[in-house]
Amino acid sequence: MSERVDAVVVGAGPAGSAAALELARAGRSVVLLERGPFPGAKNVYGGVVYGRVLDEVLPNWWEEVPVQRWVTRRGTMVLTDTQALTIDFRTQDWAGAPHNGMTTYRADFDSWLAGKAVDAGAQLVTSTVATELLRDGGRVVGVRTDRPDGDIRADVVIACDGVNSFLAKQAGLLPTTDAAHHTLGVKETLALPRKSIEERFGLRGDEGADFEVLGCTGGIPGGGFVYTNRDAISVGVVLSLTGLAESGRRPEDVLADFKAHPGIAPYLRGAELKEYSAHLIPEGGYRSMPPLSTDGMLVAGDAAAMCLAAGIWLEGVNFAIGSGLAAGRAAAEAIAAGSRDLSGYRKRLQDNFVLTDHKNLQRAPHLVLSERVQRQYPKLLCDLAQEVFTVRNPEPKPGLRKLFRRTAARHGIRLRELAADAWAGFRTFG
Amino acid sequence: MTGLPDVLAVVVVRDAVLPSGADEAVAECGGAVLLVGTGTRAAARELIAARQVWTSEVPRVAFGALAEALAPVLRSVPVVLLPASPDGRDLAARLAFRADRQLFAGASRCTATHVELSRVDDRLAVDVEFNGPVVVTLQPNARGVPEPVPSPEPVELPVTLPEDVLDAETAQILDPDPETVELTEAQRILGAGAGLVRTGEDGSAVMRTLTEVAAALGASAGATRVITDAGWAGHDRQIGTTGVVVDPALYIAFGVSGAAQHVGGLGRPEHVISVNTDPSCPMTAMADLGIVADAPEVLRELARRLNGAADE
Amino acid sequence: MQIVAALSWSWQRIEVDPLTGNLTTDHRGTNAAELAALEHALRLAEELDGHVVAVTVGPPEADEVLRTALAAGAHEAIRVERDTAPDARWLASNGAETARAITTALRTTPDLVLCGDRSSDGATGTTPAFIAARLGAAQALGVVKLATEGRTVLAHRRLDGGRREVLRLPTPAVISVEGGVRLRRASLPAVLAAQRAPISSVPFDTRRGPTVAARPRRPRPRELPPPTAAAAHHRILELTGALVERTPPAIVGPLPAPEAADVLLAYLHRHGYLETDPVAREAVERP
Ligand SMILES: Cc1cc2nc3c(=O)[nH]c(=O)nc-3n(C[C@H](O)[C@H](O)[C@H](O)COP(=O)(O)OP(=O)(O)OC[C@H]3O[C@@H](n4cnc5c(N)ncnc54)[C@H](O)[C@@H]3O)c2cc1C
Ligand SMILES: Cc1cc2nc3c(=O)[nH]c(=O)nc-3n(C[C@H](O)[C@H](O)[C@H](O)COP(=O)(O)OP(=O)(O)OC[C@H]3O[C@@H](n4cnc5c(N)ncnc54)[C@H](O)[C@@H]3O)c2cc1C
Ligand SMILES: Nc1ncnc2c1ncn2[C@@H]1O[C@H](COP(=O)(O)O)[C@@H](O)[C@H]1O
């Protein structure tokens, strides 16, 4: 005997729960399969969720979302071996609803979001792995799971099984290996008393800080981050897979060096390691996205490389939710219409932020991971700052323009390249 | 009148054998004890902390009937204390219910008005003042035993087991399993703890590897309760206060935190090695050699070296 | 035959602050011993043609364990309404109240009640004995092996010193088991059906336990028999263990596995547990 429902969603991460929620809200029978013992059990990410996408899930979501801290301070740091330059921004505007970013634990957040889907009527089945797609000719008609009598048939299957999606590969939508378009994130959660965190990061109450860092990965293209939770700090690095392989280093060593940097170490002093974890990140962006659907199946979230990632830049959860909601709605519509046409999914993504942002930022990964941004600019900026701040009496102060030329020349950077990158940056992020 | 004191130890005896923790319970009650069960008079001679002994010889150890029979006898005794041995624990609740008393289980200290309960794997002490009559069970190994005193002549306190109380029937008493004997007599033991098995991994395979490595070192393999509960090793392999009590010369702990219930069954090994990722866990703290390392990896490495076992 | 499986919804992994004794924990659930009890209940039901009722005393979230039980094959589920905070007062309580909650929720006296030998928070293992007392049932607690002989259940119970007692059980009987048996994996249709199955909820009035105070536990000074040596000097040596030769404790690492193995084997060699010097042998073997 095999079960039959309108839709099966594989993976109760942010994408899957969002998709299941929309299907359930549309009155469809939907089963949400999750391999872990509960949603978020083993899910790894840095730590910040940009929550506005939740407006579509629940009004006033901020009143009940399991938040650690609301980010009111964001810094971008540039490091060299001995220097650190930080652009430090804070605003109280983000302290109040609807907020901007929040730090939250995935075990809490994913469970919460999956709970919303269950409340709406979705059936969540945990400790269950989807092992195979069921097909009828070319059409995907369900999935096989690792439980006894584990086949389940559905009009639509939505694959939200995360980066390197097994299902998308099985459907032939993703190549089987693709190191170039992935980075590796490694992360530690370090326990630190709440009071120390607030003192060190200059925070009050449930305010939080997040820092993204360039130039901290020992020459391997990538970046680092430091995020504050209520009584723990998340610190990690994101590394290009090919760069890591070439360097011959172990990711935990790169992270250890980052933690020991004089600009970072004082924040972490005395903190106790609670957890170490590692996970792949789809880094290719728009250019490496797979086809988003095939007959009977949609792909959302990291499975479809929806994560907006460029070294230090990591927005995955909001894109996963955005694409999951779109997939759920498109599937519900098709099922209601008795149609096999799932193209509404792509259209919805193009109309909202998901594909629009990806299209606009398609050059970002390449730029941020480029040799100049990774190695030369951090040094240039730090040296420049040092020149500006060093007092050399009795020598007079050199003019800023002169300092700049001199520093750039010392680093072998031609102003033409700088201008080109600035323009590229402007077009990418502007 | 029985002349029983205000604080009395009640110790269940089987075939003249005292349970673990008997003398400690007696000492905690100032030396006053009632022995119930089979072979009580002979057991009385084995006590070292007793100053006043009563015996109630009964034909069988059956907790429903014993509770029924003892409740009226103990009516005048405000504090009844039993060792938290298997029989003590199991009689205590029946007795408390039958006599309508509060039960305080797992105490590490007990006076006429106060108990200190040990909770959360011995990491928390909970103090309770009481005023009504109570039944208490005392954790073995918590207080130690004092200087032996000559055992006094026991006074018989006859009780009759009622026939109309339902109890399980003892079909047989089995002597320790040969497996257990092998472990109790082993001079070298390798112990497996939760840290030796990675999440999601099959612990039975890990235990097989441990047993092979142990064999290569002329040692036996034991485990903590986390391992036996998960079904990765037989119950005979569980070292500890509720498992097998061992006394090796060498103990090598792999991923064992060193909970009191485990260490309580370890005897006094001359050499202790602890392989654990946590340098401050009790097992490592009490070890002669604490190695901060990943236990599963270390075991695999040892297997490779000692048995030439192929890497899976 | 009516078989009850009692499954707790207890606080797992409670942390104790070593300075203040404050307790922290974040999740509740059911432990290995209780899942083993459920599996035994299901097996006995198959063998003896029984009907399994899963019971928990807990808050609404505890329905989760009941649905696990239903998915695995339990026929019926009852939850007795009660919530417990992970605080000292709750930890100091024992199974008397829980047993009262369970027995009052059962409409008839079951033939067998299967429990874990202890929960994860209270962990005194007294609930099953109180259930037996209330039902007037026989008891077999701390059981490591269950077998049937015809329609009779035989239980092997641990005694001290590695001995075991084999008990022949009448009905009604309460059995508490240690872990060791894994709960079967439920089929997908059963998991889905269990999510829709009704769970009856029974109200319960808890009586308040005694007032308590808690602190981190320090082992109490152990009383020791006085030393036996004749001379005072020797008695002191005996007491302090100063004459027993011990290696000074050392903590090394963190070490990668090969180095850790080196250190371990070298130690064994140094103390005479290994004949050959393992490090030297390795060096020879590796050309
Ligand atoms: C180190 C690191 C830092 C990051 N930092 C951030 C950040 O700060 N902010 C941010 O917004 N994003 C961040 N991201 C990205 C973000 O984590 C992802 O983009 C996001 O989790 C994608 O959500 P998802 O639902 O698509 O996939 P996932 O969250 O990966 O969820 C997939 C789910 O599917 C389940 N699953 C997989 N296979 C199967 C199967 N066969 N059967 C059943 N279930 C299955 C998994 O258990 C999992 O629950 C970070 C990522 C990493 C690695
Ligand atoms: C009434 C009662 C009776 C009990 N009787 C017994 C008994 O007889 N015997 C018994 O053993 N227990 C008994 N227990 C249970 C006991 O209290 C502990 O829960 C148990 O001993 C803990 O086992 P553990 O050390 O394997 O697991 P944990 O306490 O979970 O410790 C695991 C250890 O592994 C370490 N670790 C984790 N990962 C790694 C890694 N990769 N490499 C190296 N180290 C790692 C951790 O740092 C930790 O120290 C009893 C409990 C009660 C309440
Ligand atoms: N809240 C509860 N609900 C159902 N059963 C319980 C509950 N608490 C304890 N039990 C049962 O009693 C056993 C022993 O628990 P305890 O007496 O708390 O150590 C457990 O393993 C369960 O089988």
* Digit-coded pLDDT (tens) for A341-366: 999 999 999 999 999 888 888 888 78
Place of tokens 């035994």: C40
Flag whether residue C253 sits within 8 Å of chain B, measured between CB atoms: yes
Where along chain B do the CATH 3.40.50.620 domains lie? Answer: 7-156
Q: Find the B121 Cα to ligand 2 centroid distance in Å.
A: 9
Which residue range(s) make up the domain with A382?
Answer: 365-429
Chain C hits for B99, Cβ within 8 Å? none
Per DSSP, the three-state class of C104 is: helix
Specify the pLDDT at position C111. 98
The answer to whether A158 and A117 are in contact (CB under 8 A) is no
Q: CB of A208 within 8 A of CB of A102?
A: yes
Lowest average pLDDT, out of A127-136, A325-334, B198-207, goes to B198-207
Reading the block at residue B265, the tokens are 């069954």
User: Cis before residue C172, ω within 30 degrees of 0?
Assistant: yes
Task: Measure the CA–CA gap between A380 and A412, rounded to whole angstroms.
Answer: 10
Residue of C nearest to A29 (CA): C192
Taking contacts as CB-CB distances below 8 angstroms, the residues of chain C near A125 are: 188, 191-192
Say whether both A325 and A386 belong to one domain: no
Q: Which of A284-293, A321-330, B293-302 has the lowest mean pLDDT?
A: A284-293
pLDDT of residue B311: 42
Residues of C in contact with A1 (CB under 8 A): 189
- Whether A192 and A207 map to the same domain: the answer is yes
The predicted pLDDT at position B308 comes to: 67
Average pLDDT, chain A: 91
How much is the pLDDT for A20?
98
Count other C-beta atoms under 10 Å from residue C163's C-beta. 18
Q: Poorest-confidence range of A262-271, C111-120, C130-139, C211-220? A: C211-220
Quick one: average pLDDT of C208-236? 81
Candidates C90, C107, C103, C110; CA nearest to C130 is: C103
CA distance A30 to A124: 9
Compute the CA torsion angle C229, C235, C239, C242 (nearest 10 deg): -100
Nearest-10 Cα torsion for A244, A245, A250, A255: 0
The percent of residues above 90 in pLDDT, for chain A, comes to 67
The set of residues, in sequence order, having a beta carbon less than 8 Å from that of B118 and lying 6+ positions away, is: B106, B107, B108, B124, B125, B139, B142, C217
**pLDDT at residue C48 above 50?**
yes
Residues of C in contact with B118 (CB under 8 A): 217
**Which residue ranges does chain B devote to CATH 3.40.50.1220?**
183-309
How far apart CA B186 and CA B189 sit, in angstroms, is 7
Q: What is the CATH number of the domain that holds A264?
A: 3.30.9.90
What is the separation, in whole angstroms, between the first and last Cα of chain A?
56
Same domain for A44 and A135? Answer: yes
pLDDT of residue C94: 86
A136-145, A187-196, A305-314: segment of lowest average pLDDT: A305-314
Residue A193 pLDDT more than 70?
Answer: yes
pLDDT at C246 over 90: no
State whether residue C272 sits within 8 Å of chain B by CB: no
* B84 CA distance to ligand 3 middle (Å): 18
pLDDT tens readout for residues B272-303: 999 999 888 889 988 999 999 999 999 999 99
The pLDDT tens digits of the residues spanning B62-118 come to: 999 999 999 999 999 999 999 999 999 999 999 999 999 999 999 999 999 999 999
Domain boundary among A282, A309, A328: A282
* In chain A, % of residues over pLDDT 70: 99
**Could you report the per-residue pLDDT of A107-124, keeping only the tens digit for each?**
999 999 999 999 999 999
pLDDT on residue A388: 87
Give residue A1's identity as a one-letter amino acid code.
M
Phi, psi (degrees; rounded to nearest 5) at A45: -155, 180
Distance (Å, whole) CA B310 – CA C1: 51
Closest CA to C266 of A320, A334, B302, A104: B302
Q: What are phi and psi of A337, to 5 degrees?
A: -85, 0
Calculate the alpha carbon distances from B108 to B136, B139, C218, C219, C225 in Å: 10, 6, 10, 9, 19
- Residue at which a domain ends, from A228, A249, A282: A282
Taking any CB pair shorter than 8 Å as contact, residues of chain A touching chain C are 1, 3, 31, 123, 125, 128, 145, 147-152
Domain containing residue A23: CATH number: 3.50.50.60
Domains of chain C: 2-203 (3.40.50.620), 248-286 (no CATH)
Predicted pLDDT at C284: 45
Among C3, C39, C119, which residue has the most ligand 3 atoms within 8 Å of its CB, making it the best to mutate? C119
Peptide bond into B78 cis (omega under 30): no
| Cα–Cα distance for residue pair C262/B108, rounded to 1 Å | 41
Nearest to C34 by CA among C108, C127, C107: C127
Gyration radius (Cα) of chain A, Å: 23
Q: Does A185 lie in the same domain as A172?
A: no
Per-residue pLDDT of B16-26, as tens digits, reads 999 989 999 99
Strands A130-136 and A84-90: unpaired
ipTM higher than the 0.90 cut: no
Whether residues A24 and A110 share a domain: the answer is yes
pLDDT at C287: 39
C245 or C90: which leads in pLDDT: C90
CA–CA gap between residue A384 and residue A392 (Å, rounded): 15
For ligand 1, residues with CB inside 6 Å are: A 10-16, 33-36, 43-49, 129-130, 160-162, 166, 185, 187, 236, 279, 281, 301-303, 307, 314-318, 320
Query: How many domains does chain A fold into?
Result: 3
Burial of A59 (C-beta count, 10 Å sphere; 0-12/13-18/19+): exposed
Structure tokens at C214: 């808690």
Q: Does A184 share its domain with A273?
A: yes
Q: Are residues A239 and A188 in the same domain?
A: yes
pLDDT category, B2, cuts 50, 70, 90? low
- Pull the structure tokens for residue C256: 């990668």
Q: What is the Cβ-side half-sphere exposure of residue C14, based on CA atoms within 13 angstroms? A: 24
Is the whole model's pTM more than 0.90, yes or no? no
Expressed in angstroms and rounded, the spacing between residue C115 Cα and the centre of ligand 3 is 7
Is the model more confident about C237 or about A314?
A: A314
Query: Using CA atoms, how far apart are residues A425 and C248, in angstroms rounded to an integer?
Result: 62
The pLDDT value given to residue C279 = 56
Instruction: Quote the pLDDT of residue C286.
Output: 44
Based on the domain organization, do A16 and A111 belong to the same domain? yes
pLDDT for position C214: 92
* A172/A315 same-domain check: yes
CB-CB: which of B143, B170, B305 is closest to C261? Answer: B305
Lowest mean pLDDT among A252-256, A343-347, A397-401: A397-401
Distance (Å) from the alpha carbon of C241 to chain B's nearest alpha carbon: 12
**Amino acid symbol at A401:** R
Interface test mutation site (partner C, options B118, B145, B166, max chain C beta carbons within 10 A): B166
Q: How far apart are CA C104 and CA C78, in angstroms?
A: 11
The domain over range B183-309 is classified in CATH as 3.40.50.80? no
Q: C186 versus A164: which is more confidently predicted? A: C186
**Chain A environment of C191 (Cβ under 8 Å):** 125, 128, 147
Residues A156 and A228 in one domain: no
pLDDT(C234) > 80: no
Mean pLDDT confidence for A284-302: 90
Q: Give yes or no for residue B264 CB within 6 A of ligand 2.
A: no
Provide, for chain A, the percentages of residues in helix, strand and coil under a 3-state DSSP scheme, each rounded to the nearest 5. 40, 25, 35
Nearest CA of chain C to the CA of A64: how many Å? 17
User: CA B292, B297, B301: angle at the middle one, nearest 5?
Assistant: 110
* Whole-number Å distance between alpha carbons of A44 and A280: 9
Written as one string, the DSSP assignment of B256-300 is: ----HHHHTTS---SEEEEEES-TTSHHHHT-SEEEES-HHHHHH
Asked if C2 contacts C44 with a C-beta cutoff of 8 angstroms, the reply is no
d(CA C133, CA C141): 13
Q: Is the confidence at residue A407, as pLDDT, over 90? A: no
Q: What is the CATH number of domain B7-156?
A: 3.40.50.620
pLDDT at A244: 92
Strand bridging mode A69-79 / A101-103: antiparallel
Beta strand spans in A311-410 (E): 313-315
- What number is the average pLDDT over the span B246-260? 93
Contact A33, A125 (CB under 8 A): yes
Among A305, A326, A351, which residue terminates a domain? Answer: A351
In the beta sheet, which residues pair with residue B147?
A: none
Lowest mean pLDDT among A53-57, A310-314, A408-412, C265-269: A310-314
What pLDDT, on a 0 to 100 scale, did the predictor assign at position B122?
84
How far is C282 from B308, CA to CA, in rounded Å?
11
